[in-house]
Every structure is written in structure tokens, then in C-alpha cells.
Amino acid sequence: MTTVRQTIKTLKPGKLVMIDGDACKVQDISISVPGKHGGAKARIEAIGLFDNRHRSVVKPADTEMEVPIVEKKTAQVVAIMPPNVQLMDLESYETFDAPIPEEMKDKLVTGSEISYWIIEGRKMLMAIRSE
């Protein structure tokens, strides 16, 4: 597992965090004021990167949570077979299949270069690289 631990109060919107074993992008984080008999609480609103599910977590603000480490790589489109695309990594030359994101469905062309992320062993297409 490629994660690091980080306290909740240091997280910011746009960062990634592991919630229920899934990588999620933080949408909003609110930290309450510490009270007379307890510490500050943090509420994290996040969206899953792979399933787009909304998740909400409330924990003490000084609790540590896992933050995934993202590997950013480049690949070339070998074949388009909806709903997947076959890619070849430009460093290791390995080929693999990945689902095509909705916003890239009409823009993919065989031979073009793609930026992709590897998070927790799962591959996610991010952007078409312009040449």
C-alpha cells in the first residue's frame, strides 16, 4: 500500500485522502472550535476518484488519516475499444487497459499521448497531452 499518514487539520480541499479504503478528493473540510470538554472535530466531505460517490467523515481534528501517493506517468494510446482503451507506458513499454473517462470519449485518437495516475495499484486517465 503506497500511502502516508497526515493529520486531518493539515488537509485542504483538492487533496487526496483514503476513506473506507478508497482514494477520494477532498471537496470541503470544516473544523469546529474546541469545546470545554473536548478537542476540535473535523468534517471532511469528499468524492471517490474511481466511483464518484460522495463520502463524509467526522473525526477529531488531530487524528491521522492515510493519504495516497500518486505516481504520474505517460502512455501512448494503442487501441480504443469502448468502454476501455489499451495503453502502452512510455517508460516500461508495458501494455494495459483502462476505462475511458466520460470527458475523453470523443477526444481519444490512436497514437496520442495520455497522462495517467497510478493510485493504490489502480490506473486513472487524467489528460490528453498536446504535442
Q: Are residues 50 and 82 in the same domain?
A: no
Q: Are residues 61 and 87 in the same domain?
A: no
Q: Are residues 16 and 55 in the same domain?
A: yes
Amino acid at 74: T
Which of the listed residues 41, 68, 95 is the one where a domain comes to its end? 68
pLDDT of residue 130: 65
Residue 17 is part of which domain span?
3-68
Model confidence band, residue 47 (pLDDT cutoffs 50, 70, 90): very high
Q: Are residues 118 and 92 in the same domain?
A: yes
Our count of domains for the chain comes to 2
Tell me, what CATH number does 103's domain have?
2.40.50.140
Bridge partners (DSSP) of residue 23 are 18
Bridge partners (DSSP) of residue 47 are 25, 54
- Residue 37: pLDDT above 90? no
Mean pLDDT throughout 79-93?
Answer: 91
Q: Are residues 17 and 53 in the same domain?
A: yes
Nearest by Cα to 44 from 18, 68, 83:
18
Contact assessment for residue 25 and residue 70, using Cβ atoms and an 8 Å cutoff: no
